[in-house]
Structure 1
Amino acid sequence: MKHAVLLLIVLASFVPAKSRTPQVVENTIVVRFAPSSPDLQTWITNGRSGELPGLREMLGPHATRGFVSASTLKAVDVAHRRRSPDPLVQNTSSGIANIVVITTTQTIDPRMISRKLASRSDVVYAEPLPIQELIGTPNDPLATSQYYLAKVRASEAWDVLPDRPPVVVGIVDTGIDTTHPDLNANVWRNPGESGRDAQNRDRRSNGVDDDGNGFVDDWFGWDFVGADGASPDNSPLPGHPHGTHVGGTVAAVINNDMGVAGVGDKIKVLAVKVGRDDPNARSVERTSDGILYAAAVGATVINCSFGSSSASFADLDVINEARALGALVVAAAGNDGTDQGFYPAAHPPVLSVAATNEDDERAFFSNYHYTVDVAAPGQSILSTVAGGSYDYYDGTSMASPIVAAIAGMTKLMDPTLTPDQLRASVKANVDNIDTLNISFIGRLGSGRVNALASALRTQKKFAEMASYAIEDVDGDGLFTADDEIEITVTVANILAPLVNGRIRATPAPSNFQPIYTIADANLGPMITDDTVAASNAFTMRLPSDLPLNGDLAILISIYDGDTLIGRDLISTTVNPSYRTFSHNDVRLTVNSEGNIGYNDYPENAQGEGFRHRGYRSLLFEGGFLIGTSPTYLPNVVRGANSSYRDYSFEYIDVIRTGVDPATNLSGATAFFSDSNDRYNLGVSVRERVLQPTVDSLRSTTFVIYDITNISDSTITGLHAAMFMDWDLGDAGEGDGCAWDRVHGMGIIQNTKNPSIPTIGVAMLSPLLQDFYAIDNAGDGFAPGIYDNFLRAEKWMMMSSGIARTNSRITDVSVMIGAGPFNLQSKATQQIVFAINAEDGYTVAMEQMDRARAAAINLGLNAAPYVPVAQTDRILYLEGGPAVSSGAHRIRFELSASTPVTIDVVDIMGRPTGILVDELNLTPGIHERSVNIPSVATGVYFLRMLTYFGVTMMPIQIAP
């Protein structure tokens, strides 16, 4: 089941490596604003469209629309008014009215940007817009009959149905061929848009919204997308045949001496088209509108045979709104054949359906997961397709409508059932298939559905786990080897009262098993809709050979007396590859592979970031880089696709917390190598993150890298750096970054709120300094990192000396490091960094001076800072920074006699033309006439190389 998880990660967890990466719509994010948001008020004033002023700096030019259309909002409000005169009930749709879809003109990374926006105080949530795909595929005939009808006892259920008006099942899909002779009689028609109006016009085509639900002439459903995704109309006829197959599975006409029979009897299918007219289109759009429309016009069951592995809070809001209107959403669990949640099926209010074959075994393509509720046949399903034909399809797409039909018949038997009770009744009345699926116990739901048992509600009791919390007895929150852990469980009774409720914890299939010490607990009597905490916690001890990131899987069985009435699976990660600790005023997370702040960029759900004195996290991303060129650059920060970080480092030993014997400071130590990188250098790294506890350094953290050359050759020209994306203001708004030449440190401050801590960062070792202040959005001439972070950009920023010393006031990051230096075979170089958080620049500066002195006293490779004289630099390019090819004057300054080469390089670091190449120039200012090469329009860099380092100046060249 899907339940609330206390003290654990919700909607984000470890995912098996073979899980499919969620696909999202490019350059698009979904934001739900708080009612008080100024941006929301502006958007509403502008007719729910136009740019949002507060996001222009971050997103650039952009367009907006409602996640739910104005017509659908009207239909929802009308439906609420019809259901209840209570104004509080009528206004429940206000939340979905505040959800905005934003599409940018420039390239952005939706995952990373949405995580940034989620930190704003006026944002409830922000997320990418998932691409939701159909999950059923045509299949050559493998059977000569509809085996699944007998398997789920459908025909026996038909015989017990009462003589009542049909139940409406919404088919939110690619449209339905409503003219299909085996389906036409069971297609829903809107009574409010049927017949003749006062002027004797056909209401189906009179151009009037006769029933006042916001949709004109929606007499047999609605098409929300049309041919191009933006052309809605009142004809939900199919593009792709998928929807007709799903509709026929639910309600193909029974006993008409023709074709096939649907699983359900006394059911009308409501055609809601969310796929384009293209018969080959595999994705669906505007599904939120489709679900809400179906619920608003009277569907009590809504089938969704589509989805994505990406969870969406906006979709959950929509599903809860449909639930408030009395509709149960039934959805397919996905066809990736993996142990992963699939959405919308995995959302708690949804009845999630996995697929089985003719022998009640898991279909090879079906997902399995603790969020699955039930299973149903999904292989070789014969049903209707467009054009009056029939075909066999495979998929959880085909299993879901079987369950939707059963839910519809169950609702017909008892119209008083709420959506939650209907979902529980279907789950309670199943056939157990555990013995046929030993490896998937607890991950295929409660069993394979049974239409007759569900209609008759043979099992009238059902309870499920409402929430659980896991704690380790030693209180460090790590769940490591030999830890004793306690699990407290709360149970909700959904159906008939329980006389003597109790629960038991037993092992579920997993890569390890705990040793149970207390495995039983009591609930006692429970009335309907009652929620009760178990009488005691389950206790168990984790084994000594606990694997890293192990899957703790526990089956929770719920009984009334000796009768099993519910079952759930607890699945969570133990012995994680990261640790969170605090030994002074800073609390931070460090992982085993070179990241600081979080373990799971960009979701940032695994870890606590960098927190100062209880304040929210100030760090969005942090990580280590080492390299000799743009190619040979192992690192663990965001990459060419900003949705993902590079994974160059592999842990040698999992991170451990404790006291560092060399310094007597507490913190964490990790060992990793660069062996995961195709272009590795052959280095290993010991990383220590240590925190002083003396009062004068309570806001300081030392980060120490001992870099060892494990190759057989000397590595020359090494640079090592830390990248940190700081978000002091909401989503980084109002932040600025600068290099303090006097104290040798980077300063990050928020210009809008002086109460936010000031961050200081410094490289303390006696090596050449590298520093680059990054505008995350870029400024046209300096690269940004919202769209991507190419290795050439990383290398330029970490190897150019004290390069860009000031950012604009915007969302900022910093690159700080050391180099170049050489490292002989088997030799080790230690590099020491300090990070502090203090109240204002002056205090941060003073604390950094104390941190430097403390590092020296601790015997670390630190040294007093000697202010660096003005480095060699390019002062001026005639007409710059935007220039055309051809002759220009250039002016540059040298601090000492040196050879000089100035060339033009592209964003990948490739030379495109030499401008100056002289063997010996004296100190001072020099000016030369140069010829800018004719190259493709774009951003380039002037690169000046001297004895004393490399200087880069961004320029833009147009032919």
Structure 2
Amino acid sequence: MSRRLILLCLVIFAVTVTVNAAPEAVPGQALVRFANPITIEQAQAEFNPGEFRVEKVLVRQLNIFLVKFDPKLDVLQAVDMLKGHPKLLWAQADHILSQRVTPNDPLYSSQWAWFQATDRDIDAPEAWDIATGGTNIGGDDIVVAVVDGGCLLTHPDLAANIWQNSAEVNGVNGVDDDNNGYVDDRNGWDGYANDGTIPTDNHGTHVSGTIGAVTNNGSMVAGVNWNVKIMEVAASSSQTSVISVGYCYVLDQKTLWWTSGGTQGANVVSTNSSFGVDLAFCTSGSYPVWNDLYNAMGEVGILSACATANANYNVDTQGDVPTSCSSPYIIAVTNTTSSDTKNSGAAYGATTIDLGAPGTSITSTTSNGSTGSLTGTSMATPHVAGAVALMHSAASLGFYNYYNLYPDSGALALKQMLLDGTDPIAALAGITVSGGRLNLYNACLAISEFVGPNPEEPYITVAQAVSNDTLTGDADGAWERTEQVEIVVTLNNLGEDALNVQATLTTLDPYVTIGDGIGTFGDIPNLAEGDNSADVFTATLAPDAPLDHSIDFVLTVTADSGYSRELTLSLDANPKVTYFEENFENGSGDWTHEIISGVVDQWHLSTEQNHTPNSAWKCGDTGTGNYANAQDAGLVSPSVVIADDSELRFWYSLDSELSVAYTDSAYDGGNVWISVNGGPYSLISPVSDYPKDFRYLAGGGNPASGPQPGNPCFAGPTTWRETVFDLSTYADSTVQFRFRFSTDAAGAREGWYIDDVRLLGAPGASAAPQPVDGLVILSEGYDTFLHWPPSSTNGAVYNIYMSTEQNIEPVNGTLVAQTADTFYVHSGIVDTSDYVIYQVTVSLP
């Protein structure tokens, strides 16, 4: 026997032993993952209860369940049976795990965020079984930019993980050795002094340790990442200009990394930002640079973890910069405790704050070279910034390829996996986007299973889907009740050339009927797009469809060589329509104003502020001064008949006196009242409720002097924002609105501005094009002459259809023309076709 053959046999033997050494499993149970979202009741209905029983949900966002069966049944046999189920992505045994190796850092046990017996933690040890950080699957260093006050770069538990610009570290002092525009930027940049010398700062040192303290080194603490590169950017400032310098440095380094093929710059995947402006709105027009910066960084693949305010208020209604910014590349974070409650000193917001993370009594590195405990949203956010970095380390080859092709959409996909993987907790339900607290393990597991583009086969995704009612509806651009629309889907191919692409469109929505569900897309080459505009889908909306209805579709895409992929898309239908609108650009019109009590009424049209140029109503001084005290005045709308399912929307800006001692109260503010069918006015509340109440007890328990004691109100410094009132209970009533501004006897601010008032409600059912009776068709030579009786409705449009096949109705054939006339001449068709049939329909305005 040759030596080569002996070695081959040894290899085979070793492999055989490894395969047979399967981990021990819990008898009588297994884990399964469904392909689509499903309830526990629906999951149970998929199995014979005599064989398998769905015990509980394990990971809601990933559709993972625990299934039980007869313990006498062999676990592997049961798993094989489950794997055959068509709705499952996978099934596996519930393996019994050995005690994992935990970091040997002496303070690890005091870092409750990593692990607690109560499981009110981020499941860090489980995540570290997948990855511990440092590099991605391509071997690239992963970098987190800490935009803060600075850092102790020589801290013994941080120094090895501090990012280094090797060209500058090994270069000449005072020279831009790498020609990146920054001189001596060895470890980052100082936005205060605009140089490369990083100041020492306790806050920034603490944040850096949470993201990436050197871990399992027998010293001090553990970080989210055991190994990672931390770029220090000193720019946490009260000046937006300094912050802009800091973010610009981060953006430049990532851009340089892409353009140099990774030989220069830094592979920054996330930033950590623990600063901001309380009670301010990104959308107000006063803070445009913030969104621009986050969007620019996001476009090169950087997610920005941002701390919300350290105050217990609703960012949705009261604002915060940057966590109220609309950039999709922001991950806004609030502070949770070791008992999975929201810290009482942390802000929240159902549409603005994405998730919670541990931020109370967090032990990390400090600027004296040791460790310490701090509390705040600033301590919560680095857990998330670090999680983004660890996810890149855990990511599959599919995600790595996807991110390198499309860093912007790759970053958003990672963010969604992070949010989908949160642990739902009651304290955050309904007051954050995800309703949950960070779970590091779920996030790393999801991205490790990400199936991205394989260069050897097509990888088709939905780029866009639109509905069109031009030919089959009323051509107003909205898909309304009873209306048939054409649906055009644009597909994007990130993989190998896709040949002969076809797709089938289906939906389970009870309000939608698919007409034509088959579409052809032709060939879609690599990195190209294709659509079915030449072979559209059609669908009809039911007459009882809800308003503002979102419809989910499944698109099954096939191509040559056996390619098949199931995609999802959504379309909006039956939107509310605006039937009353006033922007106050043409004077006061039918709007009036009045004194409600007292003797002062300062309502007037103003150009000092506006939401849309150039005018808005203001209750306050006619110049730049403050409003009058002891005022109670109303701005009154004209009478309007309310349509079904209506809502009132308007934009306002407000600066009024708040109570310092009682943070839920105000001394001055505004609210909205309604008069129905000429009756007395009554107070109405916005969908998101008023943020304050008028004080009804002043200091010492004496009654306040204001005219609306105890009533809820808008108050405080609030830049331009839109608010919504549900008017569905007032359908068919004639109403007037009164915008009431009330002040007490002392203290004054700028006042209340009102602009862009709208009423939206249910549209009428759209009339589908109707066939015209009395169509006369005459042929003469090469021409066909068509004429028909006119519609009784002015503005009617006639649609002329033709079919040259006996089994196809004309309206499903070719649209020849659209005209407002009652006659049409079609030339040439009779001479070239054996069979022709016409039909004319009328679309009414």
TM over 0.5: no
TM-score, scaled relative to structure 2: 0.43
